[in-house]
Structure 1
Amino acid sequence: MDDIDAMFSHLLGEIDNLSESLMSAADPAEVDCASHTENRFSFGFTDLNESLNELEDQDLDALVADLGSKLNPQELFTHEQNSSLTDNRTAPATMTRQSEPAAALPSLPNTAKSSRSEPQTKADKIKLALEKLREAKVRKLIVKVLMSDSSSKTLMVDERQTVRELLDQLFEKTHCDQGLGWSMCETNPDLQTERIFEDHEYLVEPLSTWTRHSENKIYFVSRPQKYVMFTDPQLFYMWKKKKACLSGINEDTKQLLIKEHFGGSTVIVPDLEGTLYLKEDGKKGWKPRYFVLRASGIYFVPKGKTKSSSDLVSFVHFEKVNIYTTDNYKQKYRAPTNFCFMLKHPCIQKESDYIKYLCCDDEHTLLVWVNSIRIAKYGSVLYKNYQAAVKRTSTLQTLHCAAHKDRSNSPQTGPSASKTTNVEDPQEPPPNFKPPPPPEHVQV
């Protein structure tokens, strides 16, 4: 280890010497010019506020103006739209990355506010400069979200926005029914998978794992199974009973199950177990194994062993994997059925030996396993997402109903309400007037 440290120190020294030699070889005039134009506002980042206070007023004004010119949202938005169109000509894509990972772009409300009232005091200028510098470090993406009717909506998303916030934006853009099942889903055509983004996720993070020419897409669709563990908790916590008994559970029993399993300090994971088909690594065959769900992950019973906890072998842990439903794996991988799901790291975008493929006998079993894994992985966060979604949906529906009621009760206004009909008025047709039919060659 001492030799390695010595070698590493020597290597760092060589790098420093090389950097100094390259700097000294550059044209002094060019270096001075670049430092004058690009580093006119040089201040330490150890204490940014103190450094800004040390600037003269004219330098501070120039800094704010310079940041404002570089952080023009309209220019960047136009640039990103053009980039998106260019990328779509070469390969289908639903996401356009910024040319620089930390491309600067201020939030529109702050920009509009600053344009209406210019900062007067030095403290206001420093505050504005800090806001712009903070915005410059935020990653932003232009995302095209596809709808179920083949239309699309374009959103500008930064790394601080959650999926819940983006769903609210899409509610306003699409005027949909705002039900609990509406979701943003990621599809991967190479793996033939789909995953529902959880409401608490920051969308930029999973999208950053896509390759530049990825064929992945984002859809805004209704998925009723998104919160099925709260609308029908008996399917997960009374799964050993017959389906006929589960369908007769009343609402009070459902609320009691939710309170019992989600209302405490920790979430109780369904004690799910059963036989699933496992696709063997590097092979086309699927073999049945007995799997058991625990809070930390999935375990299986080795051949010839019992179902006791001491004999269970770890299959996968949930910390660094997401769960995906699949499409037509009976044809793609010769699965026993098409009711399959996979567990993989989000960075894996192609077929890999590190992907875990599992197959269920029927759709109901798939529903129970997929959502039980979501309960185990996200725990109380999933319940908080559900409560926030219920509250938000109820508020939006109340506002929508109130607005509709106001429109229906309000008296008619405008020219048609105030103007009386006058036959002598050339602009007003008589009461029994019927327009002539359009010519045959004109499409109406």
Structure 2
Amino acid sequence: MLPCVKETEKMDDIDAMFSHLLGEIDHLSQSLVPAADTPEVEGASQIDSTFSIGFTDLNESLNELEDHDLDALVADLRSKSTKKTSSGTDNQTAASAMTQESEPAAALPPPSNTAESPRVLQMSKPHTKADKIKLALEKLKEAKVRKLIVKVLMSDGSSKTLMVDERQTVREVLDKLFEKTHCDCSIDWSLCETNPELQIERGFEDHEYLVEPLSAWTRHSENKIYFVSRPQKYVMFTDPQLFYMWKKKTACLSGINEQAKQLLLEEHFGGSTLIVPDLEGTLYLKEDGKKVWKPRYFVLRASGIYYVPKGKTKSSSDLACFVRFEKVNIYTTNNYKQKYRAPTNFCFMLKHPCIQKESHYIKFLCCDEEHTLLLWVNSIRTAKYGTVLYKNYQAAMQRASLQTLHSAAHKDRANSPVEDYPHEPPPDFIPPPPPPPPGHTEV
């Protein structure tokens, strides 16, 4: 009987482990998949949320679009609808031809007159904005396009409405905002997302396709997008000594010249592969489900973050993987000293972009000071994105240089002396009287 008892206990342990694993999988799926209140009844609302960000409904977002953006949306949807219709017509023609080969011609129904069909009437050119919005709403439901109408908030409290295509990168959206706001094209300008529930924010990278991360937001999300200047966006390239010479004293780092900075950039970013900053140090780790933070020694590598388990040494053989960068993004936090009783407010978070609420799969870390937070956040960005981040920086610098040249040329034209005749006379200009005719003598 003893072997049977042991076998039963073993099976019970396996069942318990399996049940625990199923529970973890279910918890993860609930964290990743947005919960739908009434998926069948509120299908229209879900469609609306697919096409607008920052608005109560799709109709409101379409009303906020400028006329030329709305015209472009309608034209694009028309072309997609035309292609789909022509494709369906071709398939129907081919099917009819196959039917004619197998059936007599008398069995075929007479062709229907579609000149007055509702679909053709819809293709008539809309005149008013209300007509354009109505047509756009109908076409959006027909064509499963990944377009978003996005409300972007400015630092002064105003907002701009943009129509973003799934093929547009953050860099292209920034260029569009430069045109709308007429601001300078500094490399510091960024698009940032905020999550009020988790009290976090993240700057989108210039190479990201904006529609993709926004599609991960839940339907009733209070997340927002901001167009703000972030001086630390490319600090790893403007001040590389902070990250690759971080063990030296601050006075030594502040005195480095531009030539030495360029040498550091060429050494660490000039090749085909990027060299990640050799960063390590003590950070505070928040325990799962608790407001307790414990110090751990962490080491940054190209693949992820590693730490020294309790009772182990700092040798490479004893390092354990804390998190890998493939499926997580890094976020800075707001007031975690109060929210989670963190040792300081200099915290950052690592999580999957689809997780929008509290979850056991979020990693919280806390730094002693702001400078340490700067080092870790931007070093992790460098390790995660590699040489792509450096290409983003070069593209941003090129865009800023072009604007500087354009502004200088415009200033030179404004200061140059006017030659020949001006294009427009001044408003108080009085033309001289015409000359008297020949032989005329004034009295």
Q: TM class, shorter-chain normalised? A: 0.5 to 0.7
Q: Which has the higher contact order (CA 8 A, sep 6+)?
A: 2
Structure 2 counterpart of 1:219, one-letter code: Y
8 Å Cα contact 2:199-2:334 kept in structure 1:
yes
* Structure 1 residue ranges without an equivalent (≥5): 1-37, 48-58, 82-97, 105-135, 423-444
**Alignment match of 1:416 (pick from 426, 429, 435):** 426
**Alignment match of 1:271 (pick from 266, 278, 291):** 278
Structure 2 counterpart of 1:270, one-letter code: P
2:167 is equivalent to residue 157 of structure 1: no
Structure 1 counterpart of 2:90, one-letter code: F
Residue 409 of structure 1 and its aligned partner are, at CA, apart by 3.3
Residue 406 of structure 1 and its aligned partner are, at CA, apart by 2.2
Structure 2 counterpart of 1:414, one-letter code: E
Whole-Å Cα distance in 2 between the matches of residues 177 and 371 of structure 1?
Answer: 24
2:105 is equivalent to residue 69 of structure 1: no
Residue 162 of structure 1 and its aligned partner are, at CA, apart by 0.4
Structure 2 counterpart of 1:69, one-letter code: M
Q: CA RMSD in A?
A: 3.3
Match of 1:343 in 2: 350
Match of 2:309 in 1: 302
SS at match of 1:43: helix
**Alignment match of 2:193 (pick from 178, 186, 190):** 186
Whole-Å Cα distance in 2 between the matches of residues 308 and 162 of structure 1?
Answer: 41
Whole-Å Cα distance in 2 between the matches of residues 210 and 155 of structure 1?
Answer: 18
Match of 1:369 in 2: 376
Normalising to structure 1: TM-score of the pair?
Answer: 0.67
TM-aligned CA distance change 1:380 to 1:413, over 3 Å:
same
Match of 2:90 in 1: 43
Identity %: 71
Whole-Å Cα distance in 2 between the matches of residues 71 and 264 of structure 1?
Answer: 54
8 Å Cα contact 2:328-2:353 kept in structure 1:
yes
Whole-Å Cα distance in 2 between the matches of residues 203 and 70 of structure 1?
Answer: 33
Match of 1:393 in 2: 400
Residue 175 of structure 1 and its aligned partner are, at CA, apart by 1.6
Whole-Å Cα distance in 1 between the matches of residues 390 and 116 of structure 2?
Answer: 49
Match of 1:325 in 2: 332
**Alignment match of 2:228 (pick from 201, 221, 227):** 221
Residue 348 of structure 1 and its aligned partner are, at CA, apart by 0.6
Residue 404 of structure 1 and its aligned partner are, at CA, apart by 3.3
1:139-194 superposed Cα distances (whole Å, 9 cap, x missing partner) = 10100100100011110001000000111111111121211110000011001111
Whole-Å Cα distance in 2 between the matches of residues 222 and 251 of structure 1?
Answer: 23
Structure 1 counterpart of 2:123, one-letter code: S
1:40-80 superposed Cα distances (whole Å, 9 cap, x missing partner) = 944349x9xxxxxxxxxxx9x999x9599399897797369
Match of 1:352 in 2: 359
Whole-Å Cα distance in 1 between the matches of residues 355 and 124 of structure 2?
Answer: 35
Residue 103 of structure 1 and its aligned partner are, at CA, apart by 5.2
Residue 366 of structure 1 and its aligned partner are, at CA, apart by 0.2
Residue 244 of structure 1 and its aligned partner are, at CA, apart by 1.1
8 Å Cα contact 1:161-1:202 kept in structure 2:
yes
Whole-Å Cα distance in 1 between the matches of residues 132 and 277 of structure 2?
Answer: 46
**Alignment match of 1:334 (pick from 329, 341, 352):** 341
* Structure 2 residue ranges without an equivalent (≥5): 1-84, 95-112, 433-443
Whole-Å Cα distance in 1 between the matches of residues 178 and 86 of structure 2?
Answer: 45
**Alignment match of 1:405 (pick from 412, 418, 424):** 412
SS at match of 2:402: helix
Whole-Å Cα distance in 2 between the matches of residues 167 and 281 of structure 1?
Answer: 38
Residue 419 of structure 1 and its aligned partner are, at CA, apart by 2.2
Residue 222 of structure 1 and its aligned partner are, at CA, apart by 0.3
TM-aligned CA distance change 1:244 to 1:72, over 3 Å:
farther
8 Å Cα contact 1:103-1:139 kept in structure 2:
no
Whole-Å Cα distance in 2 between the matches of residues 372 and 298 of structure 1?
Answer: 11
8 Å Cα contact 2:185-2:399 kept in structure 1:
no
Match of 2:253 in 1: 246
